[in-house]
Amino acid sequence: DIQMTQSPSSVSASVGDVVTITCRASRAVSDWLAWYQQKPGQAPKLLIYVASRLQRGVPLRFSGHRSGPDFTLTISGLQPEDVATYYCQQADSFPLTFGGGTKVEI
Protein backbone atom coordinates (compact mmCIF):
# COMPACT_ATOMS: atom_id res chain seq x y z
CA ASP A 1 0.00 0.00 0.00
CA ILE A 2 1.09 3.59 -0.62
CA GLN A 3 1.78 5.49 2.59
CA MET A 4 1.08 9.22 2.67
CA THR A 5 3.18 11.36 5.00
CA GLN A 6 1.78 14.79 5.70
CA SER A 7 3.45 17.67 7.54
CA PRO A 8 3.15 19.56 9.74
CA SER A 9 0.48 17.93 11.87
CA SER A 10 -0.69 21.35 12.98
CA VAL A 11 0.02 24.97 12.16
CA SER A 12 -1.05 28.22 13.74
CA ALA A 13 -0.99 31.35 11.60
CA SER A 14 -2.51 34.80 11.39
CA VAL A 15 -5.19 36.08 9.06
CA GLY A 16 -3.56 36.98 5.77
CA ASP A 17 -0.59 34.66 6.19
CA VAL A 18 0.57 32.15 3.60
CA VAL A 19 0.21 28.60 4.88
CA THR A 20 1.91 25.63 3.20
CA ILE A 21 1.19 21.97 3.88
CA THR A 22 3.32 19.19 2.46
CA CYS A 23 2.51 15.61 1.54
CA ARG A 24 4.80 12.86 0.29
CA ALA A 25 3.89 9.43 -1.05
CA SER A 26 5.93 6.32 -0.28
CA ARG A 27 6.18 5.65 -4.00
CA ALA A 28 5.49 7.59 -7.17
CA VAL A 29 1.85 8.52 -7.77
CA SER A 30 2.43 10.82 -10.74
CA ASP A 31 -0.02 13.72 -10.31
CA TRP A 32 -2.71 11.55 -8.79
CA LEU A 33 -3.16 13.42 -5.57
CA ALA A 34 -6.13 15.20 -4.03
CA TRP A 35 -6.50 17.63 -1.14
CA TYR A 36 -9.52 17.87 1.13
CA GLN A 37 -10.65 20.34 3.75
CA GLN A 38 -12.65 19.19 6.75
CA LYS A 39 -14.14 21.78 9.07
CA PRO A 40 -15.13 20.74 12.59
CA GLY A 41 -18.31 18.70 12.62
CA GLN A 42 -18.55 18.60 8.83
CA ALA A 43 -17.85 16.17 6.04
CA PRO A 44 -14.67 16.61 3.99
CA LYS A 45 -14.69 18.81 0.90
CA LEU A 46 -12.57 18.33 -2.22
CA LEU A 47 -10.25 21.31 -2.82
CA ILE A 48 -7.65 20.16 -5.32
CA TYR A 49 -7.54 17.23 -7.75
CA VAL A 50 -4.75 15.90 -9.93
CA ALA A 51 -2.21 17.67 -7.73
CA SER A 52 -2.85 21.23 -8.89
CA ARG A 53 -6.33 21.63 -10.34
CA LEU A 54 -8.85 23.63 -8.36
CA GLN A 55 -12.20 21.97 -7.76
CA ARG A 56 -15.11 24.08 -8.98
CA GLY A 57 -16.21 26.67 -6.44
CA VAL A 58 -13.05 26.58 -4.35
CA PRO A 59 -11.54 30.01 -3.64
CA LEU A 60 -8.48 30.96 -5.67
CA ARG A 61 -6.36 31.42 -2.54
CA PHE A 62 -6.04 27.64 -2.47
CA SER A 63 -3.45 26.11 -4.78
CA GLY A 64 -1.67 22.81 -5.21
CA HIS A 65 1.75 22.03 -6.58
CA ARG A 66 3.96 19.05 -7.19
CA SER A 67 7.74 19.10 -7.10
CA GLY A 68 9.20 15.64 -7.61
CA PRO A 69 7.82 13.41 -4.88
CA ASP A 70 6.51 16.29 -2.78
CA PHE A 71 3.06 17.80 -3.02
CA THR A 72 2.07 21.08 -1.42
CA LEU A 73 -1.18 22.76 -0.61
CA THR A 74 -0.85 26.52 -0.20
CA ILE A 75 -3.37 28.92 1.26
CA SER A 76 -2.39 32.39 0.07
CA GLY A 77 -3.97 34.78 2.53
CA LEU A 78 -5.44 32.72 5.34
CA GLN A 79 -9.05 33.57 6.20
CA PRO A 80 -10.96 32.78 9.41
CA GLU A 81 -13.18 30.37 7.50
CA ASP A 82 -10.11 28.33 6.53
CA VAL A 83 -9.78 26.94 10.05
CA ALA A 84 -10.00 23.22 9.38
CA THR A 85 -8.04 20.01 9.06
CA TYR A 86 -6.57 19.35 5.63
CA TYR A 87 -5.89 15.90 4.20
CA CYS A 88 -4.01 14.69 1.16
CA GLN A 89 -5.07 11.48 -0.57
CA GLN A 90 -3.30 9.48 -3.25
CA ALA A 91 -5.56 8.71 -6.19
CA ASP A 92 -3.09 6.56 -8.06
CA SER A 93 -4.10 3.06 -7.02
CA PHE A 94 -6.26 1.03 -4.70
CA PRO A 95 -6.27 0.84 -1.76
CA LEU A 96 -6.69 4.59 -1.55
CA THR A 97 -4.80 6.18 1.33
CA PHE A 98 -4.93 9.49 3.13
CA GLY A 99 -2.30 11.52 4.92
CA GLY A 100 -2.63 11.97 8.66
CA GLY A 101 -4.04 15.47 8.40
CA THR A 102 -2.88 19.01 9.17
CA LYS A 103 -4.88 21.12 11.57
CA VAL A 104 -4.82 24.81 10.64
CA GLU A 105 -5.62 27.29 13.38
CA ILE A 106 -5.63 31.05 13.70
Partner 1 sequence: EVQLLESGGTLVQPGGSLRLSCAASGFTFSLYGMGWVRQAPGKGLEWVAGLSGSGAETNSADFVEGRFSISRDNSKKMLYLQMNSLRAEDTAVYYCAKEGYCSNTSCYAERKHFDSWGQGTLVTVSS
Q: DSSP for 63-79?
A: EEEEETTEEEEEEES--
Shortest spacing between CB 67 and partner 1, in angstroms: 21
Shortest spacing between CB 73 and partner 1, in angstroms: 15
37 lies in the binding site for partner 1 (CB under 8 A) = no
> Cα separation of 84 and 66, whole Å?
22
Q: DSSP for 43-67?
A: --EEEEETTTEEPTT--TTEEEEEE
24 lies in the binding site for partner 1 (CB under 8 A) = no
Q: Which of 13, 20, 44, 74 binds partner 1 (CB under 8 A)?
A: 44
32 lies in the binding site for partner 1 (CB under 8 A) = yes
CA distances from 40 to 27, 34, 47 (A): 31, 20, 16
- Residues of this chain that interact with partner 1 (CB under 8 A) are 1, 32, 34, 36, 38, 42-46, 49-50, 53, 55-56, 85, 87, 89, 91-92, 94-101
